Amino acid sequence: MPKSPTGPVQVLGICGSLRKESYNHALLRAAMELAPADMVITEFQGLGDIPPYNQDVQATGDPDSVVRFKDAIRAADALLIATPEYNYGISGVLKNAIDWASRPPSETPLNGKPTALMGASTGASGTMRGQLALRQSFVFTNTPVLLKPEVYVSFAATRFDAELRLTDDKSRGFIRQLLEALVTWTRRLTAPS
Ligand code: FNR
């Protein structure tokens, strides 16, 4: 069971897209701006440095990029993942990073880590199917995922301005609600019994 945070809830933000002008990256930036006073969101840098998962490599020890990723997850009170939807699933880089972080199952820092999801896509579903796929992977890793509110930013090109600031008030409201729910839920999940 992760330790209960006494100060602000420390959240590790993870973006599943490596694209420079990624809407999901912009969504994470919006979340940082909308975070409640008792939450600090720090974005993980370096998902793109993680090599393709190979069990033979893992058997000789985690590469440095994976050690950094696992340490960042371990140090955080909660995770906030901004995921794109690729072919009704999640991006390869995000799935790959989760696969590395999940091994070995007896030591994974994903075990019990409170996690919230959000996502932006250029299509109508706003990453609905991608987020479901992510929830499915987190069943195996025993990672509790916040149920509501769900944040699906559809038709992303219409919700951000030219500087990739999230201008859609409804989406901003949903993110605010998600972050408030994440603070309350993380404190509840990690409270000493
Ligand atoms: C997509 N896109 C997409 N969109 C969607 O709503 N459902 C989908 O299944 C897919 N599949 C898909 C596959 C691949 C390989 C790419 C590159 C794109 C479009 C996707 O929503 C769009 O490119 C987003 O802009 C990706 O997120 P970022 O990079 O802006 O964060």
Residue 39 pLDDT greater than 60, yes or no: yes
For 133, other C-beta atoms within 10 Å of its C-beta total 18
Q: What is the reported pTM?
A: 0.97
Question: Which residue bears the tokens 């985690």?
Answer: 62
Do the strands 115-120 and 152-153 form a parallel or antiparallel pair, or are they unpaired? parallel
| Rounded Cα gap, residues 33 and 16, in angstroms | 19
* Å from CA of 95 to ligand 1 middle: 15
Assign 3 a pLDDT band (cuts: 50, 70, 90). Answer: low
Predicted pLDDT at 153:
98
Sign of CA dihedral 135, 154, 83, 7: negative
- Measured from CB, residues less than 6 Å from any atom of ligand 1 are 17, 19, 22-24, 84-88, 121-123, 125, 156
Sign of CA dihedral 60, 63, 68, 73: negative
Q: Whose CA is nearest to atom 7 of ligand 1?
A: 85
The 10s digit of each residue's pLDDT in 41-54 is 999 999 999 999 99
Query: Half-sphere exposure of residue 34, counting CA atoms within 13 Å on the CB side?
Result: 23
Predicted pLDDT at 68:
98
Read off the tokens for 176: 């605010």
Q: Whose CA is nearest to atom 21 of ligand 1?
A: 121
Q: What are the φ/ψ torsions at residue 142 (nearest 5 degrees)?
A: 60, 40
Helix (H, G, I), strand (E, B) or coil at 4: coil
Looking at the CA of residue 157, tell me the nearest atom of ligand 1: 25
Strand partners, 15: 82
Mean pLDDT of 114-126: 98
Q: What are the φ/ψ torsions at residue 118 (nearest 5 degrees)?
A: -155, 165
* Å from CA of 85 to ligand 1 middle: 5
The 10s digit of each residue's pLDDT in 142-186 is 999 999 999 999 999 999 999 999 999 999 999 999 999 999 999
- Best probe residue, ligand 1, of 85, 118, 153, 154 (max atoms within 8 Å of C-beta): 85
Looking at the CA of residue 124, tell me the nearest atom of ligand 1: 6
Mean pLDDT of 71-99: 98
| Rounded Cα gap, residues 61 and 79, in angstroms | 24
Predicted pLDDT at 192:
83
* Å from CA of 125 to ligand 1 middle: 11
Question: Which residue bears the tokens 């972080």?
Answer: 101
Residue 86 pLDDT greater than 70, yes or no: yes
Predicted pLDDT at 5:
72
Assign 2 a pLDDT band (cuts: 50, 70, 90). Answer: low
